[in-house]
Structure 1
Amino acid sequence: MDLNEKTYCILIHGFTKENRIDKALVLFDWMKGLGFDRDVPLFMEGDLVAASWLLQDGNKLSIGPFVSLYNAVLEGLVNGGKVNEAYLLLQEMIASNNLSDEEIAGCASDNEEVEYITNLFKFEKAVIPNSDSYSIVIDGLCKYQELDKALELLHDMAANGCIGNLLLYNNLIHEMCNADRLQESFKLMKAMRGLGLEPNHFTYNSIFGCLCRKEKVSDVLDLMREMLHHGHTPWIKHDTILLKRLCTRGNAMEACQFLSDLEEVGFLPNVIAYSAAIDGLCRIEELDHALKLFHDVHAHGYAPDVVAHNVLIHGFCKEELMRPKA
């Protein structure tokens, strides 16, 4: 009975977990001889020793395949949760590009972490990182909220003539918005356009969501106009959050004006948004206005849901108006 690829992978993972890198590498080479697709990132599972063995074996490769091997190591480190190590390794790759082979062999660092990475991976020649190298590490840094390091790498990436793709910028903008770093998100979107990358619906909605959470009503409407102009639909969940926050703070009338402005922009809110505004009006005892808005929902072709009915009924019962006029 012949072993299949899955069997080899299970054994390799087992030996790696037991720190038997020697046996894992033997099986890894057997896979190559049998023509199996060897998954370097999964094999390493973030193991630095395993990565160093692979790269030592790859020193004989030409620059293209050698960089690809380094990228697989970077991906393996990121997947294994060793993002800082991947970041340091990439920094060493960048530094090696500016040194001769003799300088690389003799270089030392005062930083213990950097020196550890340099000694472990034993740079014997320059390794020029490509766009994939940067993207792998930047995505990993975003995942672990190391946004300043991610921005630093993005700057280095451009300085070294590498261009990021739409996915890279979207991930970075999304995490920046989650961290409420709004102005930097706008700068990144502008940088995208400078590279010929057109923002898509995910780019816009990441920033749109941040503006809604910050309750920047005027900016929200401006961005919605731009989105609709470019054919992108704003995500309803974001404007609903804005409406609910306005109502919670007692600004139900401002919330109603926002609903009206949305219609003028060309975006029709859904029933949930209307229900939130109706609830806000009932809270400040604007029952006539709430009832009017309830009827407006019908006028826009929506059927108010059970939440809208319950909110309105509760509001009238609270004011002891059991039979309100329509």
Structure 2
Amino acid sequence: MLEKSFAMDFVPDIVSVTKVVEGLCKAGRVTEAAEVLDRVECMGASLDVVAYNTLIKGFCGVGKVKVGIHFLKQMESRGSLPNVDTYNILISGFCYSGMLDLALDLFNDMKTDGIRWNFATFDTIIRGLCSKGRIDEGFSILELMEESKEGSGGHISPYNSIIYGLFKQNRFDEAVEFLTKLGKMFPRAVDRSMTIFEHCKQGSIDDAKRVYDQMIDEGGVPSILVYDCLVHRLSENSCVREAVELMNEMIANNCFPVPSTFNAIIAGFCRQEKVESALKFMEDITARECETNAETYGPLINVTCKKGDLQKALQLFLEMVEKGIIPNYFIWNSLLLNLSQENYFKNKNMINIHDLL
């Protein structure tokens, strides 16, 4: 329809054109989307900030954030001034791509250009910094947010990002202490979290899940501490499928799992001797670029050895070594004990274990 319009020298209004651009961007066809806007402009129509923002978001969505910067400069040169949404989209893109210094440069440029930071700006950059381990800078931005006119706006998400950053660095006690200090600001969220921890500690997983469901029904956003605690207890209580579902909810809330979280699920599958489920789950988390470690492979190698599938155990062992993961005592013990019992050392077609030793 758009091509027919162009053929008749008719340019649809910018709202209709933007809808087409949005559809193309969602389908990953960002180059075509850029061509559409270029043709519209060549036909004498003016583009507004919403159209540019839609295109910039499209390029950020496919990881081409620097192309988004090109269109930012283009819109400025053509008299269409960027707004806070333009910067937020680009900051989010840089954070997602791991280019945090460029995200911080844009954050500072906003102040220079007279564009006021809003909650989305703070929330995005705090999450980006903390997820990559730059906790101190995350705290600094959090202080700026609290000093600003808008503040947190009653949203707990930037504080959960701080907790997530501390947790990823194994600063568990600091994370719990920080959560506790939020009691005055978010009394209901903190109370629900502490209740869940207590139920999990006592082994009352059904009660813990009930409080979690209540928290979600009230519109609460759990922290990584709540998710991690529940995933561990569900996995230990043979509710591994529920643990997987909970981890998926966690990811949907921009809270990506740390190794200890998904390792608990793999260990849970292995205790039930559901090797295929454990392997499929490991494939899924690897596809999501989650970093595995020795504790990921240990239960898998152990259970495959117990089931007599030593070929699979050796395959997992080699895969692990190729990734540069150092086997721990548990892995060596499982593998060597079973290989020696099966007399595999004499089989020239198998891996030469004493060379690896």
Q: What is the TM-score of this pair, normalised by structure 1?
A: 0.50
Question: Which residue does 1:46 correspond to in 2?
Answer: 30
Structure 2 gap ranges (5+): 204-232, 239-357
Question: Which residue does 1:154 correspond to in 2?
Answer: 107
Contact 1:46 1:81 in 2 (8 A): no
Partner of residue 197 from structure 2, selected from 263, 266, 269: 269
Matches within 5 A, 1:117-156: 125-156=78-109
Partner of residue 84 from structure 1, selected from 66, 70, 91: 66
| Residue 167 of structure 2 is aligned to residue 212 of structure 1 | yes
**How far apart are 1:221 and its partner, in Å?**
4.3
Q: d(CA) in 2 for partners of 1:235 and 1:175? A: 27
Three-state SS of the structure 2 residue aligned to 1:134 is: helix
Q: d(CA) in 1 for partners of 2:60 and 2:138? A: 24
Partner of residue 157 from structure 2, selected from 202, 225, 232: 202
**How far apart are 1:43 and its partner, in Å?**
3.6
Contact 1:41 1:77 in 2 (8 A): no
Three-state SS of the structure 2 residue aligned to 1:183 is: helix
Q: d(CA) in 2 for partners of 1:126 and 1:214? A: 45
Q: d(CA) in 2 for partners of 1:33 and 1:135? A: 22
Among the aligned pairs, what percent are the same residue?
20
Deviations 1:118-152 (A, max 9, x none): xxxxxxx4332111211222222222222221111
| Residue 160 of structure 2 is aligned to residue 174 of structure 1 | no
Contact 1:41 1:79 in 2 (8 A): no
| Residue 189 of structure 2 is aligned to residue 189 of structure 1 | no
Q: d(CA) in 1 for partners of 2:170 and 2:92? A: 29
Contact 1:46 1:77 in 2 (8 A): yes
Q: d(CA) in 2 for partners of 1:196 and 1:215? A: 33
Structure with larger RCO (C-alpha < 8 A, sep 6+): 1
* 1:147–1:230 distance in 2 versus 1, CA, 3 Å: same
Q: d(CA) in 1 for partners of 2:86 and 2:15? A: 28
Contact 2:21 2:36 in 1 (8 A): no
* 1:126–1:213 distance in 2 versus 1, CA, 3 Å: same
Q: d(CA) in 1 for partners of 2:139 and 2:15? A: 50
* 1:211–1:37 distance in 2 versus 1, CA, 3 Å: closer
Q: d(CA) in 1 for partners of 2:86 and 2:163? A: 30
**How far apart are 1:179 and its partner, in Å?**
0.5
* 1:87–1:27 distance in 2 versus 1, CA, 3 Å: farther
**How far apart are 1:189 and its partner, in Å?**
0.9
**How far apart are 1:180 and its partner, in Å?**
0.7
| Residue 215 of structure 2 is aligned to residue 231 of structure 1 | no
Q: d(CA) in 2 for partners of 1:169 and 1:141? A: 14
Matches within 5 A, 1:36-115: 38-43=19-24, 45-47=29-31, 48-57=34-43, 61=46, 66-93=48-75, 96=77
Structure 1 gap ranges (5+): 1-7, 13-21, 97-124, 238-265, 276-303, 310-326
**How far apart are 1:230 and its partner, in Å?**
0.6
Q: d(CA) in 2 for partners of 1:34 and 1:268? A: 48
Deviations 1:202-261 (A, max 9, x none): 111111122123233553344123211111525999xxxxxxxxxxxxxxxxxxxxxxxx
Q: Number of residue pairs matched?
A: 202
* 1:23–1:83 distance in 2 versus 1, CA, 3 Å: farther
**How far apart are 1:35 and its partner, in Å?**
7.3
* 1:206–1:38 distance in 2 versus 1, CA, 3 Å: closer
* 1:51–1:37 distance in 2 versus 1, CA, 3 Å: closer
RMSD across aligned positions (CA): 4.0
Three-state SS of the structure 2 residue aligned to 1:229 is: coil
Q: d(CA) in 2 for partners of 1:127 and 1:146? A: 26
Question: Which residue does 1:241 correspond to in 2?
Answer: none
